[in-house]
Amino acid sequence: MVSRRHFLQATAAASLIVSASGSGQLGRVAAQQRLSQGDITRFDALGKLTILHVTDVHAQLAPLYFREPSVNLGVGDARGKPPHLTDAEFRTWFKIAAGSPDAYALTSKDFTALAKNYGRMGGMDRIATLINSVRAERGESNVLLLDGGDTWQGSWTSLKTNGQDMVDVQSALKIDAMTSHWEFTLGDKRVKEIADTAPFAFLAQNVRSLEWQEPVFEARKTFERGGAKVAVIGQALPRTAVANPRWMFPDWEFGIREDEIQKQVDDARSEGADVVVLLSHNGFDVDRKLAGRVKGIDVILTAHTHDAMPGVLQVGSTILIASGSHGKFLSRLDLDVRDKKISGFRYKLMPVFSDAIAPDATMKALVDKIRAPFAQDLARELAHTESLLYRRGNFNGTFDDLICASMLSERDAEISLSPGFRWGGSLVPGDPITFEALTNATAMTYAACYRTQMTGAQIHAVLEDVADNIFHPDPYFQGGGDMVRVGGMGYSIDVSKPVNQRISGMTELKTGKPIDAKRNYVVAGWASVNQGTEGPPIWEVVETYLKRVKSVKLQPNTSVTVTGA
């Protein structure tokens, strides 16, 4: 277990982007409305080796708003520890001033007001600028750029180009290696095609063929950077075949494969590696547990759970880095490597404030070229929002509420179910809801919106199954994601209870009556993992609804009561 003192020691050594009093250079400059690129990239370099990490971009080429969650519960040993802190608790732990740029980037409190001050974040042309700045400072031969996956999915352009838009961007950024999760929803043939031809390494030590248990992808690759041999081991999402349609990659299986990770570490060391990095898409809590069980990993670059932390966590001698999502952040880790071991490190989570960073001209031209064939469609205005629309949160998200309301209306359903996906940007009140904004939250390869009948007992079973996937006290049994969103129905959840005992009080909102376990209800949903699911794509359903209502104003969602947290 990591103590608060140990965590804070690591965080202090990590060169936080604001000072404890909130009067650090970045905070002062931002308060004076003069936030600059130099403030973002300023760093006290250490050693010769720099590792850059970006992850969970979800195919977001352009700057966007993205609100972090207001509810992010930890269970078991993770309860009350980072990254499972939000708003005031998060700011207190990391010593972040309220109203600062870091508060805006890393928490949800006052998001709408702060968004007006600090603007959008991300954009691949801005990320390219930061990467090029670090390479210019350190020397290209001293910098290792790694991508944690969930890169080829999450936008209309990525869906329409079968991920090629993001592969082209990654190639232009000159990433050295990546691992994967949502990439697999492009299908096994497409993933293999890219993995075999891309100018970067596609690493996934834990993917095996079903019949012969042979490795499907390269497990690790060693790079010489900063005078050190750096072995990078790739770890794809272990539960991909559960979280996503297995029929898209029927001959592959996944899993954590802890013993195999240990073997990869040992082999890398025996072959002369000075530094061993796990490029992981396990999720933060899984990696925290794994760091205490697998020996010899120097750095774990975590992904999947979209956590952004402006400091490191250390488990023993292993450094854990969480770099956020949607292109909002770029992590920089400097390592001082001596006598084949790390003698010191410094870390910075660089926020990608798009208004403060000059777009890289070459990347901007590439992004413009990628978007050009789709620009007219992306810009179509479907409606306007009077409410903040966001995706993240363990139980509710207003963008999900909009999707659920659309299904209830357009599919003539009593209850709607929307998956607890974490990807998709936010919209602030007054924004147009464009087709791009809609597809940023819905573009995927199995988006059919089904209409079916389910008994109350079956609906209860779905909620219990998803709840155990998120709130199982053992991280190795968690799959990440958030609770399935529900329209037309409310319920209570006790996250401290064991499986099949968490969900109660299921109530039909329209009538106020309890959900009858034996009665059939008309249910609409989307993103079923079952092959052959029929129905219009979810973006068509929501677009029809938006064109009819023209303006969206959502009341706070109080239909889920949470206890045991």
Give the domain ranges of the chain.
Answer: 47-66+122-337+344-369, 379-563
Question: Domain 47-66+122-337+344-369 maps to which CATH number in 3.20.20.140, 3.60.21.10, 3.40.50.150, 3.30.70.360?
Answer: 3.60.21.10
pLDDT at 355: 94
Reported as type and span, the H/E element at residue 318 is strand 318-322
pLDDT at 565: 83
Residue 224: partners with Cβ closer than 8 Å, 6 or more residues away: 141, 230
Peptide bond into 199 cis (omega under 30): no
Least confident of 9-13, 83-87, 115-119: 9-13
Least confident of 21-25, 87-91, 160-164: 21-25
Residue 394: partners with Cβ closer than 8 Å, 6 or more residues away: 69, 71, 72, 73, 420, 470, 482, 483, 562
For the segment 277-286, the average pLDDT, to the nearest whole number, is 98
Q: In what order do the strands lie in the sheet with 449-455?
A: 449-455, 520-526, 415-420, 482-487
3-state secondary structure of 79: coil
Confidence tier at 33 by pLDDT (50, 70, 90):
low
How many whole angstroms from its chain centre is CA 519? 37
Reported as type and span, the H/E element at residue 469 is helix 456-471
For the segment 219-227, the average pLDDT, to the nearest whole number, is 98
Question: Average pLDDT, whole number, for the chain?
Answer: 93
| pLDDT > 60? residue 275 | yes
Q: Which residues of 86-122 are buried (b: 16+ CB within 10 A; e: fewer)?
A: bbeebbebbbbbebbbbbbbbbbbebbebbeebebbb
Q: Output DSSP code: residue 182.
A: G
pLDDT at 4: 52
| pLDDT > 50? residue 287 | yes
Q: Are 346 and 334 in contact (CB under 8 A)?
A: yes
For the segment 496-502, the average pLDDT, to the nearest whole number, is 94
Q: Are 407 and 526 in contact (CB under 8 A)?
A: yes
Q: Which residues pair with 220 in a beta bridge?
A: 233
Q: Output DSSP code: residue 93.
A: H
CA-to-CA dists, residue 517 to 3, 416, 454, 457, 502, angstroms: 45, 17, 10, 4, 16
Task: Answer yes or no: pTM beyond 0.75.
Answer: yes
d(CA 211, CA 39): 53
| pLDDT > 50? residue 282 | yes
Residue 508: partners with Cβ closer than 8 Å, 6 or more residues away: 414, 415, 488, 489, 514, 515, 521
The tokens of 233 are what?
């081991």
pLDDT at 148: 98
CATH topology of domain 379-563: 5'-nucleotidase;  domain 2 (3.90.780)
pLDDT at 26: 52
Confidence tier at 479 by pLDDT (50, 70, 90):
confident
Greatest Cα pair distance in the chain: 70
For the segment 482-508, the average pLDDT, to the nearest whole number, is 96
409-463 per-position pLDDT tens digit: 999 999 999 999 999 999 999 999 999 999 999 999 999 999 999 999 999 999 9
For the segment 321-325, the average pLDDT, to the nearest whole number, is 98
| pLDDT > 50? residue 336 | yes
For the segment 170-178, the average pLDDT, to the nearest whole number, is 98
Q: Which residues of 171-210 are buried (b: 16+ CB within 10 A; e: fewer)?
A: ebbebbbbbbbbbbbbbbebbeebbeeeebbbbbbbbbee
Helices (H), 316-395: 361-371, 375-378
pLDDT at 497: 94
Amino acid, res. 89: E
Q: Can you state the percent helix, strand and coil of the chain, rounding each to 5?
A: 35, 25, 40
How many whole angstroms from its chain centre is CA 410? 30
What is 403-466 written as a DSSP string?
Answer: HHHHHHHHTT-SEEEEEE-----BB-TT-EEEHHHHHHTT--TT-BEEEEEEEHHHHHHHHHHH
Confidence tier at 564 by pLDDT (50, 70, 90):
confident
| pLDDT > 60? residue 11 | no
pLDDT at 10: 47
